[in-house]
Structure 1
Amino acid sequence: MNTKSQLSIIKVRNTEMNCTSACNSNSSLVLIQMVVYIPVFITGSILNILALWVFCCKLSKWTATRVYMTNLAIADFLFLITLPFKIMFRVQNWKTPVCLFLESAYFINRYMSIFLITITAVDRHMAIKYPLKAKHVRSPLKSAVACGVLWVIMISIVCVTKYSEVRMQPIVCFRKCSIEPSKPAFASVIWGFVIPLTILSFCSIQSTKKLMRKKETHPNEKKLIQKAINIIFANMAVFIICFLPLHVAHFVRFIADSMKASCIAIHNIAHFLQVAGIIANTNCCFDAICYYLVNKEFQEASEIKYWTRTLNSEII
């Protein structure tokens, strides 16, 4: 190996050593995490436990939507359990196999939430647009099987990915220290956000169009139909607000690492990624609020003859 090559390798290694300081804890961001995550953990835990109690104990009949929402509540609750450990590992900067398990659980439940929200939108779209076909296609058992398959796929993908990352670099909890482009992070942007967002947007828009037409043909139920439309768009808005900044940050970091950006740029992107992660992690509270709104709306709708026939058979 000639002197020029050796100098080049030394330069790259020095750059990596300087840039990996981006993974060090920022005291301001750690404080923000604590301020946000403590109320999110308390509020989200109460809301999701309450949602599980209602879904599992108070409702008399299992439906396809109820199965999806129960799994979503489970995923959100398990995700909340990882938040205190996320703060702890940030403060202590521990590097142990336990943190690898907790980090895997963190990502499994985040993307389970995303895909369950997407599947629920598809299920709702089928029920609203094709009510007769949906009666033969949809069932609680099929929904339970779909959720089970999704859990197995998500756990397998995350565990294999984390195992591969550990073999490539030392364990550092809940942060990216390497300046090498992360292919799993890029894949999560495409498969974990862009594709679900596309499906969610299509289904929400189509469902809204169908409900708008029903609003014209059933003027007496205009107010109730409009509330259902508002809930659909509220769910979509929460999804975008919570998850768009995070996946934009992952994409920007992937581009920066690929183009060998300066350490200052990488530091700034790393901080943006942490802030975006804080925003994304509040989603588990908003999901629980949506459970309440949807069930309240269905409860009101069930008191009206038309909506007893349509909402209960098509949406639920």
Structure 2
Amino acid sequence: MATCSNCSSDCSSDNDTLQDSVALFQFIVYIPVLSLGVPLNTIAFWVFCCKIKRWTETRVYMINLMVADSFLLFALPFMIYFTKYDHPIGNLCLTIQSIYFTNMPMSILIITLIAIDRYIAIKFPLKARILRSPLKSASVCGFLWTTLIIYSCWQSRIHAKTEGFCLRRQSTEPSYSSLFSIIFGYFMPLGIVIFCSVQVIRCLKKKMATSPHETKLTQKAIHIVSVNLCVFAVCFSPFYVARLLRFAVDVAKACSLLSEVRASIQISACLANSNCCLDAFCYYFAAKEFPEFPSLLPTCILMRFKMNQSQESQPPTDQVMT
């Protein structure tokens, strides 16, 4: 990897042609994301807030995810402008940065919570009655919102002190706080989502269907979990891998690679931000395919669990304890 002795000057220079190309690419991607994301999230809000009567853990998480996606959609036009033009850091910039630094991590963490909630409900149906409740889900989401808002405001203030333009990181000093957010804000949640999703899929495949209707529900549930996992990994992984590359470039002072790495972060951010539009399709499938399944599956597993317990404790007289 190439290094240089006077990186401060070389690394501060941008490739204007490359930056213009990135700005054009962002514009092309974000226009359809905004055009689809705004109406789809509006419809999703109406469905989950008005059409669904019963409060469940999934409903709480989905509404919080919609709030995070909606704020991210609000920030996208400003991000297009800030990428194209050198906008000085001010109140508007700090506000948009705080919104952006809050809502993408919040989306990731809520998707992680949904995966954990599914895992607990299906793998441990008895304990789920104690561990899960809409109030507990709302409390966890409230804690995450508070923590991330404080952290994002702190990050924005640091950025304002060290950088000259909005959403432009010119400093080549390694940011260990950024490394912390990459590991604990994405790669750890990614591992949790993969583990929970794989365990849920394995549990569903082992489930003995008692009717064609139940088999169909199980297959749909496996499909939904698989698609959600793929969307999560495909959307966010390139962005956080690119951020890891930026940290490595800063540590190695590899100035010749800096412009390309910056461009890769901005391009992969388009894919990550498009998740706020793709989530709306997940809302649709969740609302369409899951109405019967969440209540059906834990009950079936619970019945099997009780039956196994009864068989294990069955006395020699073949009397079944209930």
Indicate the TM-score class for this superposition, using the shorter chain for normalisation: 0.7 to 0.9
Q: Assess if the C-alpha contact under 8 Å between 2:163 and 2:171 holds in 1.
A: no
CA distance in 1 between counterparts of 2:193 and 2:105 reads: 14
Matched residue, 1:295: 287
- Helix, strand or coil at the partner of 1:172: coil
CA distance in 1 between counterparts of 2:42 and 2:188 reads: 30
Query: Among 87, 92, 112, which residue is 1:118 paired with?
Result: 112
Q: What is the 5 A alignment of 1:228-243?
A: 228-243=221-236
Q: Assess if the C-alpha contact under 8 Å between 1:80 and 1:284 holds in 2.
A: yes
Q: What is the 5 A alignment of 1:74-153?
A: 74-97=67-90, 98-153=92-147
CA distance 1:243–1:312, change in 2 (3 Å): farther
Q: What is the 5 A alignment of 1:15-94?
A: 15-22=7-14, 26-94=19-87
Structure 1 residue 223: Cα displacement: 2.7
Q: TM-score, normalised by structure 2?
A: 0.86
Structure 1 residue 164: Cα displacement: 2.5
- Helix, strand or coil at the partner of 2:167: coil
Report the aligned-residue RMSD.
Answer: 2.0
Q: Assess if the C-alpha contact under 8 Å between 1:100 and 1:171 holds in 2.
A: no
Q: How many residues align?
A: 295
CA distance in 1 between counterparts of 2:164 and 2:215 reads: 56
Q: Assess if the C-alpha contact under 8 Å between 1:48 and 1:288 holds in 2.
A: yes
CA distance 1:312–1:153, change in 2 (3 Å): farther
CA distance 1:312–1:156, change in 2 (3 Å): farther
Query: Among 176, 182, 193, which residue is 2:186 paired with?
Result: 193
Q: TM-score, normalised by structure 1?
A: 0.88
Q: Assess if the C-alpha contact under 8 Å between 1:127 and 1:313 holds in 2.
A: no
Q: Assess if the C-alpha contact under 8 Å between 2:102 and 2:148 holds in 1.
A: yes
- 5+ unaligned residues in a row in structure 2: which ranges? 302-322
Q: Assess if the C-alpha contact under 8 Å between 1:48 and 1:73 holds in 2.
A: yes
CA distance in 1 between counterparts of 2:164 and 2:123 reads: 48
Q: What is the 5 A alignment of 1:169-248?
A: 169-214=162-207, 216-218=208-210, 220=212, 221-248=214-241
Structure 1 residue 43: Cα displacement: 0.8
Structure 1 residue 165: Cα displacement: 3.1
Q: Assess if the C-alpha contact under 8 Å between 1:79 and 1:105 holds in 2.
A: yes
Matched residue, 2:297: 310
CA distance in 2 between counterparts of 1:119 and 1:108 reads: 16
CA distance in 2 between counterparts of 1:195 and 1:100 reads: 27
The one-letter code matched in structure 2 to 1:309 is L
CA distance in 2 between counterparts of 1:240 and 1:87 reads: 24
Matched residue, 2:259: 267
Matched residue, 1:276: 268
Structure 1 residue 75: Cα displacement: 0.3
The superposition leaves residues 64-106 of structure 1 with CA deviations (integer Å, 9 ceiling, x where unpaired) of 1100000000000001100000011222211132212201211
Structure 1 residue 219: Cα displacement: 5.7
Structure 1 residue 36: Cα displacement: 0.7
- Helix, strand or coil at the partner of 2:192: helix
CA distance in 2 between counterparts of 1:46 and 1:126 reads: 33
The superposition leaves residues 223-269 of structure 1 with CA deviations (integer Å, 9 ceiling, x where unpaired) of 321111111011110111011101110111101110111x3211111
The one-letter code matched in structure 1 to 2:98 is S
CA distance in 1 between counterparts of 2:53 and 2:299 reads: 13
- Helix, strand or coil at the partner of 2:258: helix
Query: Among 247, 266, 270, which residue is 1:254 paired with?
Result: 247
Structure 1 residue 50: Cα displacement: 1.1
- 5+ unaligned residues in a row in structure 1: which ranges? 1-10
CA distance in 2 between counterparts of 1:286 and 1:311 reads: 28
CA distance in 2 between counterparts of 1:309 and 1:91 reads: 51
Select between 220-229 and 44-53 the one with higher mean Cα deviation.
Answer: 220-229
After TM superposition, what 4+ stretches of structure 1 lie above 3 angstroms from structure 2?
22-25, 216-219, 311-314
- Helix, strand or coil at the partner of 1:26: helix
